[in-house]
Amino acid sequence: MAGTRETSDAATPDALPRSTVDRLPAAWRPYARLARFDRPIGSWLLFWPCAWGVALMGGLPHEIYLILLFGLGSLAMRGAGCVYNDIVDRHLDAQVERTRDRPLASGRVSLRAAWNWLFALSLVGLLVLIQLPPLAQGIALLSLALVAGYPFMKRITWWPQAWLGLTFNWGALVACAAVAQDVGLPALLLYAAGVFWTLGYDTIYALQDIEDDALAGIRSSARALKGNVRLGVAIFYALSAVLLAGALALVGGPLAALAALPAAAHLAWQLRRLDAAPATALRLFRSNSWAGALVFLACAVAGT
């Protein structure tokens, strides 16, 4: 692809070592890294709320096609969101040690090429969108306002992680609408549970950059909480578990709420392991792919 310049092909420190991106042709690697294909955890975190919605509304197993659609859409739209975020944040990224080697901030991908890549990924998302029922399509389109606003939140609020929660869990509402042709109280509770889950795990993630963020003037919930990060994350995760249990109980009856216990136990494990070390923060953040899977199983129990 045109628009690159010759520099090192370094990956950001939190990328997976020896990922499939390393096996791509050299000219493709910066674009794959710009879309974070070497960091699949973000796609999982975007996908799981969609899968929750399908499962909670009783869409399993006959709506497995929707699960596959949401998987493809999550990969493409998470990539598009990362490209857009890096376009907006390219100057800030150059000031933060963990992000200064990102393809756009380092100059390995030009601004024009990044916009073209964003368009291509968005086109894949559009192809997924038109496969959904009309109500789900309309709800999905509303998320564009959240996506567009997210990169600016770290400049105007101490809680950009809350905005990310609103954005990343929107798929739960889309999926519920796609299966049930409605967005009722269980869907809203599931969405709220996801928002607080994201607020917790992204606060943990922000611990990696807390010093560089302070120097660059970037705001985050980790900085806002100061010495109370563990307490803050505990509150966020507890609210997430309670809201999830409420959604499960409304769909599957009171006993179905017990299906939330494995996910709640995993979140409690994260809290027990939490400290300020960047390596620990990254490991705990990545473990939320398992938390999402446990919530999916809970939703499947309640929905069936």
- Look at residue 11 in the predicted model and tell me its pLDDT: 55
The residue assigned the tokens 């769909």 is 251
CB 233 within 8 A of CB 276: no
- Look at residue 8 in the predicted model and tell me its pLDDT: 45
CA atoms of 270 and 237, how far apart (whole Å): 10
Q: Report mean pLDDT in 10-residue bins for the chain, 304 residues.
A: 42 66 90 93 97 97 95 96 92 81 90 96 96 97 94 90 97 97 97 98 93 84 93 98 98 97 98 92 96 98 95
- Look at residue 10 in the predicted model and tell me its pLDDT: 53
CATH code: domain 27-303 is 1.10.357.140
- Look at residue 95 in the predicted model and tell me its pLDDT: 81
Specify the DSSP element, H or E, that contains 111. Answer: helix 111-129
Name residues whose C-beta falls within 8 Å of residue 31's C-beta, 6 or more positions apart in sequence.
1, 103, 109, 113, 117
- Look at residue 178 in the predicted model and tell me its pLDDT: 97
Q: What is the pTM assigned to this prediction?
A: 0.90
CA atoms of 223 and 219, how far apart (whole Å): 7
Residue 262 Cα distances to 29, 139, 191, 253, 266, angstroms: 38, 30, 19, 18, 6
Domain boundaries, the chain: 27-303
- Look at residue 27 in the predicted model and tell me its pLDDT: 92
